A and B are shown apart, each in its own frame.
Chain A
Amino acid sequence: NAGVTQTPKFRVLKTGQSMTLLCAQDMNHEYMYWYRQDPGMGLRLIHYSVGEGTTAKGEVPDGYNVSRLKKQNFLLGLESAAPSQTSVYFCASSYNGGTYEQYFGPGTRLTVT
């Protein structure tokens, strides 16, 4: 039981390049989330999904897109990377929304130059 995994662990992009971050969970959770973590700002919700085939915007969605084609996977895409997207990205999943614990992945450190 691997829990929540993220690929890749590190990535350096040039401004304007695109990439996709993959999150996978093997706990059969319905809900999945993407956060970004910047120094002094805690974690901020980018997008989330309440089930396979659904996505919704969080607090800071601009410049990102997501897809949830399979229940176990949640993809975060950057179409045209900008230096402001330099951050650590965490994926999380929970059995249900509301008051259930969110389990976090190990994170992806992204640098955009």
Chain B
Amino acid sequence: GENVEQHPSTLSVQEGDSAVIKCTYSDSASNYFPWYKQELGKRPQLIIDIRSNVGEKKDQRIAVTLNKTAKHFSLHITETQPEDSAVYFCAANAGGTSYGKLTFGQGTILTVHP
């Protein structure tokens, strides 16, 4: 089955700096890679996703890049703000099916210091 590894497990930055979180996956048939943000005690919420037919996607201060050859994808947050502090999860779908079965990474605790 799919295996997703996420690094780092914790990340501490100063407000205004950039943050980068990286994930690798094992199933070459995976074709959907979402990123979720989870604040303490809350539900995971999708912040950005990318499909395998594109290499990069941006949404304001957030961007995701995908390298299918190397089987890794990354989340980039620029001009970080204290409200970006949360746990971030990457995920990959079980490619070759239409069931949307996601395998999640272990999560990255991002802390943005004012």
Give residues in A with beta carbon < 8 Å to B.
31, 33, 40-45, 48, 50, 56, 58-59, 90, 94, 96-107
Contacts and interface: CB of A to CB of B under 8 A. Distances in A.
Contacts, number: 71
A58 B100 CA distance: 11
Given A43-B102, A99-B93, 19 more contacts: A31-B100, A40-B106, A42-B106, A44-B104, A45-B102, A48-B100, A56-B99, A58-B101, A94-B100, A97-B97, A97-B100, A98-B98, A99-B100, A101-B46, A101-B49, A102-B34, A104-B45, A105-B43, A106-B43
Interface residues of B, number: 27
The A contact surface, by secondary structure, is loop
Given A31-B99, A41-B106, A58-B101, A101 B93 contact: no
